[in-house]
Amino acid sequence: MSWAGGLEVAMPSGPAGLQNIDRGLRNWRLARGLASAVTAGTGFGGIDVVLLGDSIGFGFKSVSPFYDGWFHRLKVLVQSALNPAGVTGGYGFVRIGSGADRRPPFMTSAGTVSDGSSNDGSGGAWVSLPVSSGKANRVTLAFDGTSPIPRQKNQATHVEIVFTKAPNANSDALYDLGTTDPAGGNGNVLASQLIDTSAVAQSNGHRQLLTGLNKNGPNFLQIASGPTSGGLGLYLEGAIAYCDDYDRGVRFHNLAVPSAVTTWIAPQSNKLLTNVGRWCTNLSGATRAKLYIIALGANDMGTGASPNVTSAAYQANLAALADHILSQPTKPSVMFVIFPIRADGGGALFTRTANRPEDYIRAVYSVAATRPDTCVVDLQTGMVGSPYYRTAIDNSYLAATTTHGWHHADLVHLGEGAQDSLARLLAELLL
């Protein structure tokens, strides 16, 4: 097997690159036929793929992580291969953030819109819309199927807003849907729905469905915090966009969070990164996740002489997350992806006597070895063999990764060509 997309680096089989692929993906392969299954009126058809990762998993440093990152590219390849005829496939979970590197290219905002993390501990995984009058604080998502570039089409037939009730607040918010930007309610508003947070419990992951979207667009979905006094407003985690695949097809959800470490993981919590069930369940209550891709470790390993998370703790955290996922009733598969080791200018990362880079790689293999429905795709070992510098001044590793285009210029994230190559490699394994 070779890397696709022109990066001709051999991928050995077995422990040096791929582990347990056939055994680990057996449940996924059995479930692929469900992509075209549908029971009218129930919404129980289709399957879901979920990514839990950090900024490398999210696709940072690609031209646009939301369109050009490896996970979105993988989604387009798998949906085009498995979805039934006429089912384009929606975007899936759309993270909404106020920062330039977290903002989808099809999102705009007005008024006060700020990132926050205290409620779910996931590094800015929701935005706060403070209470306002006249819909002054708002975000707008534009769903449009007219782009000539397939992976930049973000059509939608259904959208679920995913929100959190602000602490000690009984605020409201409003959807406005129009064929032009509602701009505070002044556009061509076709439909509106109230979100009354006084009617929901204080917890994460509430969802409300909006229908009536024109598949080919344009659709402008505005979410504005309401005028209720005394509240903190709406905490908006994101939205789930469907395009004819609410009850069929393969849906992809990118839950990767920049700066994520495995100490954020608390199985069975409400946190964005680890409440694995709620991102694969539509409002009918059907949980259909069949594959989880876990791409965590670069931030645990850290740089310099000391790690952010020890390799032993990293292994324990991964094992707990894998066990929680494998306990789900949908019998999912788990794929661990190991990215090329990040650069460390001083070299101290590679001369550690404990918590060495190879210790983190071995930890992933150890977790997968004792869990039949897990597998490993190890880009580091499969590409250059040695998972670390032999000495602090040995630049052979960086020379290999930069020559073949796997690292971005920052020597941490994936290069643009690698985003496409990884997507094609994983599609080959999944299809």
> What are the pLDDT digits (tens) for 284-303?
556 688 999 999 999 999 98
CB neighbours of 216 closer than 8 A, spacing ≥ 6? 145, 146, 155
Distances from the Cα of 25 to the Cα of 65, 220, 331, angstroms: 26, 38, 11
Token reading at 210: 């909006």
Decide if 339 contacts 377 (C-beta within 8 A): no
What are the residue ranges of CATH 3.40.50.1110 in the chain?
1-89+248-431
Share of the chain above pLDDT 70, in %: 68
Say which CATH superfamily domain 90-243 falls into. Galactose-binding domain-like (2.60.120.260)
Residue 35, pLDDT score: 76
Decide if 89 contacts 243 (C-beta within 8 A): yes
- What is the identity of the amino acid at 320? A
Model confidence at 345: pLDDT above 60? yes
Q: Mean pLDDT across the stretch 295-317? A: 93
Token reading at 39: 């029971």
Residue 197, pLDDT score: 63
What are the residue ranges of CATH 2.60.120.260 in the chain?
90-243
Q: Binning pLDDT at 50, 70 and 90, where does residue 13 land?
A: very low
> What are the pLDDT digits (tens) for 105-146?
888 787 777 766 544 434 444 667 777 666 777 888 888 877
Decide if 278 contacts 268 (C-beta within 8 A): no
CA distance 69 to 204: 27
**CB atoms near residue 203 (< 10 Å):** 11
SS3 164: strand
Share of the chain above pLDDT 90, in %: 22
Q: Binning pLDDT at 50, 70 and 90, where does residue 38 land?
A: low
Ranking 63-77, 391-405, 417-431 by mean pLDDT, the lowest is 391-405
CATH numeric code, 1-89+248-431 = 3.40.50.1110
SS3 223: strand
Query: Is the preceding omega at residue 218 within 30 degrees of 0, hence cis?
Result: yes
CA distance 2 to 386: 18
> What are the pLDDT digits (tens) for 246-289?
888 899 988 887 788 888 775 444 455 556 666 656 655 566 88
Block residue for tokens 């106020």: 98
CA distance 151 to 216: 15
Model confidence at 308: pLDDT above 90? yes
